[in-house]
Amino acid sequence: MTPEHEPAKLLEIEDLHVDFLTDRGWTNVVAGVSFDVGPGEIVGLVGESGSGKSVTSLSVLRLLPPAYTRTPGGHVRYRGRDLIGMPQRELRDIRGNEISMIFQEPMTSLNPAYTIGDQIAEGYRRHKGGSRRAAFARAAEMLDLVGIPDAGHRVRDYPHEFSGGMRQRAMIAMALVCEPRLLIADEPATALDVTVQAQIVALLARLRDETGCGILFITHDLGLVAELADRVVVMYAGEVVETAPALDLYDAPKHPYTAGLLSAMPHLGVRGEELPTIPGRTPEPWRMPEGCRFSPRCGHANETCTAAPPEFRIVGEGRGCRCCRTEQLRLVGSP
Amino acid sequence: MSVMKSSAEVPAPGSPEPAPASGPLVDVRDLSVVFRKRRTLAAPRIVRAVNDISFHIDQGETFGLVGESGSGKSTTGRALLKLVPAAAGSVTVAGHDVTRLRGKALRTARRSMQMVFQDPYSSLDPSSTVAASIAEPLIVHEKLSGRAARERVHELIEMVGLRASYADRYPYEFSGGQRQRLAIARAIALNPGFVVCDEAVSALDVSTQNQVINLLERLRAEFGLTYLFIAHDLAIVRHISHRVGVMYLGRIVETGPAERVYTAPAHPYTRALLSAIPDPRRKSERIVLEGDLPDPARPPVGCPFQTRCGHVMDICRQRVPEPTVVEGGGEVSCHLQTSGPTLAGAPLSALPKGPGPAA
Identify the pLDDT of residue A267.
61
Q: Which residue has the higher pLDDT, A335 or B273?
A: B273
- Domains in chain A (CATH in brackets) are 11-98+180-328 (3.40.50.300), 106-179 (no CATH)
Residues in chain B: 359
Q: How far is the C-alpha of A118 from the C-alpha of A127, rounded, in Å? A: 14
Strands A25-37, A231-236: pairing is unpaired
Verify whether the Cβ–Cβ distance A223 to B209 is below 8 Å: no
pLDDT at residue B2 greater than cutoff 50: no
**A189-203, B127-141, B148-162, B337-351: segment of lowest average pLDDT:** B337-351
B264: Cα separation from own chain's centroid: 21
DSSP A100: E
Q: What is the pLDDT of residues B4-42, one digit of tens each?
A: 444 434 343 333 344 445 679 999 999 999 998 788 888
What is the enclosing helix (H) or strand (E) of A21? strand A11-22
Fold assignment, B24-241: Rossmann fold (3.40.50)
Q: Which residue has the higher pLDDT, B233 or A316?
A: A316
Question: Residue B110: left (phi > 0), alpha (psi -120 to 50), or beta?
Answer: alpha
Whole-structure pTM value: 0.82
Q: Which residue has the higher pLDDT, B178 or A269?
A: B178
Identify the pLDDT of residue B75.
93
- Is this complex scored with an ipTM above 0.85? no
Cβ-based neighbours of A90, under 8 Å, separated by 6 or more: none
Band of pLDDT at residue B283, cut at 50, 70 and 90: low
Q: Which of residues 46-105 of A touch B (CB under 8 A)?
A: 48-49
Verify whether the Cβ–Cβ distance A272 to B278 is below 8 Å: no
Q: How far is the C-alpha of B109 from the C-alpha of B102, rounded, in Å? A: 10
- What's phi and psi for B284, nearest 5 deg? -80, 155
DSSP A312: P
- Residues B203 and B118 sit within 8 Å (Cβ to Cβ): yes
Sequence spans of domains, chain B: 24-241, 265-278+287-350
Identify the pLDDT of residue B355.
45
The amino acid present at A74, given as its one-letter code, is G
Identify the pLDDT of residue B241.
93
A248: Cα within 13 Å, side-chain hemisphere: 17
Q: Pick from A233, A322, A332, A227: which is nearest to A276 by CA?
A: A332
Q: Pick from B175, B87, B92, B191: which is nearest to B137 by CA?
A: B191
Identify the pLDDT of residue B21.
52
Identify the pLDDT of residue B281.
67
The verdict on A278 touching B (C-beta cutoff 8 Å) is: yes
Cβ-based neighbours of B255, under 8 Å, separated by 6 or more: B55, B243, B244, B245, B246, B261, B330, B331, B332
What Å distances lie between residue A7 and A11, A81, A134, A180, B325, CA to CA? Answer: 9, 10, 33, 16, 62
The verdict on A122 touching B (C-beta cutoff 8 Å) is: no
Strands B88-93, B96-97: pairing is antiparallel
For residue B246, list its beta bridge partners.
B66, B254
The verdict on B90 touching A (C-beta cutoff 8 Å) is: no
The verdict on B286 touching A (C-beta cutoff 8 Å) is: yes
pLDDT at residue A292 greater than cutoff 70: yes
pLDDT at residue B87 greater than cutoff 90: yes
Q: Please, what is the average pLDDT of chain B?
A: 85
Q: How far is the C-alpha of A328 from the C-alpha of B209, rounded, in Å? A: 29
Identify the pLDDT of residue A278.
87
Identify the pLDDT of residue A277.
85
Sign of CA dihedral A321, A327, A331, A335: positive
**A232-246, B46-60, B117-131: segment of lowest average pLDDT:** B117-131
Q: What dihedral angle (degrees, nearest 10) is formed by the CA atoms of A130, A132, A137, A140? A: 120
What Å distances lie between residue A94 and A53, A127, B76, B262, CA to CA? Answer: 21, 9, 48, 47
- Residues A46 and A233 sit within 8 Å (Cβ to Cβ): yes
For residue B65, list its beta bridge partners.
B230, B245
Band of pLDDT at residue B282, cut at 50, 70 and 90: low
| Residue A24 burial (CB count, 10 A) | 11
Residue B236, burial from CB neighbour count under 10 angstroms (0-12, 13-18, 19+): buried
Verify whether the Cβ–Cβ distance B279 to A149 is below 8 Å: no
Q: Which of residues 7-26 of A touch B (CB under 8 A)?
A: none
pLDDT at residue B342 greater than cutoff 80: no
Judging contacts by C-beta atoms under 8 Å, the chain B residues touching residue A196 are 68, 292
The amino acid present at A211, given as its one-letter code, is T
A228: Cα within 13 Å, side-chain hemisphere: 33
Q: How far is the C-alpha of B129 from the C-alpha of B135, rounded, in Å? A: 10
Give the 3-state secondary structure of residue A285: coil
To the nearest whole angstrom, how far is the Cα of B147 from the nearest Cα of chain A? 31
Verify whether the Cβ–Cβ distance A48 to B258 is below 8 Å: no
- What's phi and psi for A321, nearest 5 deg? -155, 145
- B311-330 per-residue burial string, b: 16 or more CB within 10 A, e: under 16: bbbebbeeeebebbebebeb
Sign of CA dihedral A115, A120, A124, A130: negative
pLDDT at residue A289 greater than cutoff 80: yes
**A8-22, A46-60, A85-99, A194-208: segment of lowest average pLDDT:** A194-208
Identify the pLDDT of residue B22.
60
Give the 3-state secondary structure of residue A137: helix
Share of chain A above pLDDT 90, in %: 62
Closest-CA residue of A relative to B221 is A272
To the nearest whole angstrom, how far is the Cα of A179 from the nearest Cα of chain B? 25
The three-state DSSP-derived secondary structure of chain B is: CCCCCCCCCCCCCCCCCCCCCCCEEEEEEEEEEEEEEEECCEEEEEEEEEEEEEEEEECCCEEEEECCCCCCHHHHHHHHCCCCCCCEEEEEECCEEHHHCCHHHHHHHHHCEEEECCCHHHHCCCCCCHHHHHHHHHHHHCCCCHHHHHHHHHHHHHHCCCCHHHHHCCHHHCCHHHHHHHHHHHHCCCCCCEEEEECCCCCCCHHHHHHHHHHHHHHHHHHCCEEEEEECCHHHHHHHCCEEEEEECCEEEEEEEHHHHHHCCCCHHHHHHHHCCCCCCCCCCCCCCCCCCCCCCCCCCCCCCHHHCCCCCHHHHCCCCCEEECCCCCEEECHHHCCCCCCCCCCHHHCCCCCCCCC
Mean pLDDT, residues B168-194: 90
To the nearest whole angstrom, how far is the Cα of B210 from the nearest Cα of chain A? 6
Q: Which residue has the higher pLDDT, B4 or A232?
A: A232
Identify the pLDDT of residue B19.
44
Strand order in the sheet with B226-231: B113-116, B194-198, B226-231, B62-66, B243-248, B251-257, B331-333, B323-325
What Å distances lie between residue B325 and B258, B317, B328, B330, CA to CA? Answer: 15, 22, 9, 6
The verdict on A269 touching B (C-beta cutoff 8 Å) is: yes
What Å distances lie between residue B169 and A140, B55, B174, CA to CA? Answer: 52, 41, 8
Identify the pLDDT of residue A5.
56
